[in-house]
């Protein structure tokens, strides 16, 4: 599993941070669970209530996240792309990953990448934050985006260097 060696997830104390989530409609059972877990992380962090928007598929995530970045401190993209029998998987994964990275840099806004790119549905289930999953990517993506938003505030002089974690 890809999470091997990852640090323990820390939920930052992030009152006043304005998060948003863009989630795809494909693979609804998986993405809905990841969304629930992302919202749980934001609630634990004490943020403003996240704005949630749904998009048709993963290819639409970067442009929607870019728009959300104009009015939010942290943006989380949630989706699932499962490999099929054509090269389409590689094109979608590369475009989404590059696009989200570009949004983060172009907008100087924290972007949490919670897009699962997997070979099988079973791998996605193991990463989607269910009770018996080994990873919790929705929760992790939100926690990372919130922590990054706080680091950016600190670097800009907008926040105390005493960042706390819950």
Binding residues: 26, 58-60, 80-82, 85-86, 113, 127
Cite the active site residues. Answer: 88
Residue 43's CB is within 10 A of a number of other CB atoms, namely: 13
| Binding residue positions for (2S)-2-hydroxy-3-oxobutyl phosphate | 85-86, 127
| Binding residue positions for 5-amino-6-(D-ribitylamino)uracil | 26, 58-60, 80-82, 113
Nearest Cα residue to 142 out of 25, 50, 8, 60: 50
Rounded Cα–Cα distance for residues 150 and 119 (Å): 34
For the four alpha carbons of 26, 142, 98 and 149, in that order, the dihedral sign comes to positive
Q: Which residues contact 83 (CB under 8 A, 6 or more apart)?
A: 89, 118, 119, 120
Strand partners, 78: 23, 114
């Amino acid at each position: 599993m890809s999470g091997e060696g990852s640090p323990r997830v820390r939920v930052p104390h992030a009152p006043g941070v304005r998060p948003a989530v863009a989630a795809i409609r494909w693979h609804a059972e998986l993405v809905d669970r990841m969304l629930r877990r992302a919202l749980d992380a934001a609630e634990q962090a004490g943020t403003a209530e996240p704005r949630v928007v749904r998009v048709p598929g993963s290819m639409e995530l970067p442009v929607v996240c870019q728009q959300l970045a104009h009015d939010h401190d942290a943006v989380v993209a949630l989706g699932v792309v499962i490999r099929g029998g054509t090269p389409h998987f590689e094109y979608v994964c590369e475009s989404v990953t590059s696009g989200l990275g570009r949004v983060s840099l172009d907008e100087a806004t924290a972007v949490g990448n919670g897009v699962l790119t997997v070979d099988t549905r079973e791998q996605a289930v193991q990463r989607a934050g269910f009770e018996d999953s080994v990873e919790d990517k929705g929760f992790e993506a939100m926690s990372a985006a919130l922590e990054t938003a706080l680091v950016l505030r600190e670097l800009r002089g907008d926040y105390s260097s005493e960042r706390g974690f819950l």
